[in-house]
Amino acid sequence: QSALTQPASVSGSLGQSITISCIGTSSDIGIYNFVSWYQQHPGKAPKLLIYDVTERPSGVSNRFSGSKSGNTASLTISGLQAEDEADYYCNSYTGISTVLFGVGTKLTVL
């Protein structure tokens, strides 16, 4: 199976909001609400930001939010901060007991 589609890079200025898309198919994102988002800083393990499309784990800033429409999930980061500069990955359950990750998006904070 191919990876979920994400933009290679996005950028935004301090204090602005950005949205990262994650495009799947009717066999994964389109049918299941099991989409998660992860943040990864260089040399570090990924960190869970959002799960079940919209849920935020305890301790994650409310500047991070998730949504879904059709086969596309989205991560929005509001009030961009310098420490948000990182790689972001989505993943989704695929219905055959497997998981697909997105290709990843590099966020640059200007």
- Interface ranges with other proteins (CB under 8 A): 3, 32, 34-36, 38, 40, 45-48, 51-52, 55, 57, 89, 91-93, 97-104
By beta-carbon proximity to other proteins, the closer residue of 18 and 53 is 53
Provide the minimum distance between the beta carbon of 72 and other proteins in the complex, in angstroms, as a whole number: 16
Provide the minimum distance between the beta carbon of 37 and other proteins in the complex, in angstroms, as a whole number: 10
H helix or E strand, kind and range, residue 68 = strand 64-69
| Alpha-carbon distance values, 1 to 7, 14, 52 (Å) | 18, 37, 21
Buried b (16+ CB within 10 A) or exposed e, 68-100: beebbbbbebeebeeebbbbbbbbbbbeeeeeb
By beta-carbon proximity to other proteins, the closer residue of 53 and 80 is 53
By beta-carbon proximity to other proteins, the closer residue of 56 and 80 is 56
By beta-carbon proximity to other proteins, the closer residue of 50 and 80 is 50
Beta-bridge partner residues of 106: 9, 87
